[in-house]
Structure 1
């Protein structure tokens, strides 16, 4: 199978631009989930240790341990943990491939949410990057996110908005939270699966063989 020509948006490997160090705001945005969880835990611990009030600490530990003893609760925790992992893997993939601008800027993952089969990420592309670039790297996204399949959708009106749907398992109960469909609707997105099929499908040589015979 030949590689998609969109992989060669730069003349050669030696001409690939290095990813520049992001600003502090961008770096904080990328680890926002970890920062919020850490900040919440620190605040609860300070309140418990400083004022001798252990009720917030007990409430926090109960909020984590009680759902963990049920199957639905474990699925919910695991699904959101996969969201954090997939977001970091997508960001790393963009830096390791040509899915960044010549200035070294990678697309922004605005939001990622669990689905019954995996995760969906809402991505804001940079100038010079489009949904077709994500479709060209669908195989690399699958490998990076440990997924069975990847489906790319672009918005009908705003082409700079892309949905990366990661499929990693059969449908799981209790893992789903309000998804992107509720905010943006299903009719506003166009699937690029047909584009990938045309690129990856091997040529049909049956007719040529019959003519030659």
Structure 2
């Protein structure tokens, strides 16, 4: 090991033995915003519906809405894609912690936003000082495994150095019977 490589090796060792810090309460609330919203809105909406129309008509309305969502392909796809985005967010946070994509004092990158795009989920990540594009690019395979994805592509933000875009490819791998090659689809 040369004299110039020692600081990087020491920093890497320090990162490996550092305990990953828990997020502060506001960040934790932001991480669980969809689940907290569902826990607050769904019971209130059901209670209001039962109070407004009574239990029998409420059951009829709920059955009609569930049937309508089940048969409406666009709504079904929208719900599936949003649920997949939420799962990818949680899996990426776990992947960041386990792959040691953190600063030397244990701060993890913050996921700002996710949006589904076909078979991929686009994720915008804010990196604290000490974590950047190169660190996430090195850990792509571990992040893909954490997200149950086939691949993770990392892109730099066009204006900000501390913002990174990830494209998590969640397409299922299938194998054609006729050929021995793997096909995405």
Would you say the 8 A contact 2:124–2:165 is kept in 1? yes
TM-score (ref. length: structure 2): 0.76
Would you say the 8 A contact 1:151–1:166 is kept in 2? yes
Structure 1's unaligned 5+ residue stretches are 1-5, 171-213
Aligned to 1:25: 26
Aligned to 2:140: 138
1:64-95 per-residue CA deviation (whole Å, 9 max, x = no partner) reads 54222233333222211110110001000111
Task: Choose the corresponding residue for 2:104, options 89, 102, 105.
Answer: 102
Aligned to 2:151: 149
Q: Which has the higher contact order (CA 8 A, sep 6+)?
A: 1
Matched, 1:160 2:162: yes
- 1:58-137 correspondence runs (5 A): 62-137=64-139
Would you say the 8 A contact 1:109–1:124 is kept in 2? yes
1:121 and 1:166 mapped to 2: Cα distance? Answer: 8
Would you say the 8 A contact 2:99–2:143 is kept in 1? no
TM-score (ref. length: structure 1): 0.67
1:11 and 1:122 mapped to 2: Cα distance? Answer: 28
2:115 and 2:11 mapped to 1: Cα distance? Answer: 30
Aligned to 2:39: 38
Would you say the 8 A contact 1:44–1:56 is kept in 2? no
2:83 and 2:126 mapped to 1: Cα distance? Answer: 22
Instruction: Compute the RMSD of aligned alpha carbons.
Output: 2.7
1:57 and 1:16 mapped to 2: Cα distance? Answer: 55
Shift of 1:120: 0.6
Structure 2's unaligned 5+ residue stretches are 1-7, 173-185
Shift of 1:28: 0.7
